[in-house]
Amino acid sequence: MSRPRRLPLLLVAAALAGCQSTERAAPAAPPAASPPVAAAPAAPTYSGPVLGPDGQCTGPAPTAAAAIEPGIGECDLVRLKGKTPTDVLVGEGRSGREVQVLYNEPGAKELYFFVNNRLDRIVR
């Protein structure tokens, strides 16, 4: 009679022994490598003559612009103002060519910001 009682105990012990295995699972695969980052697109191009650091145009100033408003070219501004700027800063930024044009006007200063030869904003 003791045999039938031992058999279930042995089965439970064998099952528990299998759960307490010291064998480890294979390590998880490393995450897939992310795709290479695409190169930044080339900076937008600009057309027409532009201002040099001395405030002079690199070519003949276009005559299309009739007013100082966003979108006009750097040389259009000089033509519409009728005089060379007080100061010009030319550089390269994330968007491409960036130019700041300063005019000292009586009683105030005007700063014009260009991106790729197009007037972006005015600070007065």
The answer to whether residue 16 is domain-embedded is no
Residue 75 lies in a domain: yes
Cα 95 from Cα 93, distance rounded (Å): 5
Q: Is residue 31 part of a domain?
A: no
As averages over each run of 10 residues, the pLDDT of the chain (124 residues) reads 53 54 63 60 69 91 86 94 95 92 93 96 94
Count the Cβ atoms, other than its own, within 10 Å of residue 115.
Answer: 17
- Nearest alpha-carbon partner for 117 in 49, 22, 40, 38: 49
- Is pTM beyond 0.75? Reply is no
32 falls within a domain: no
Biggest alpha carbon–alpha carbon distance for the chain: 118
d(CA 17, CA 30): 31
Residue 50 lies in a domain: yes
| Segment 8-30, tens digit of pLDDT | 555 555 555 555 555 666 666 66
Tell me which DSSP letter residue 57 carries: B
Number of folded domains in the chain? 1
Domain that holds residue 65: 45-124
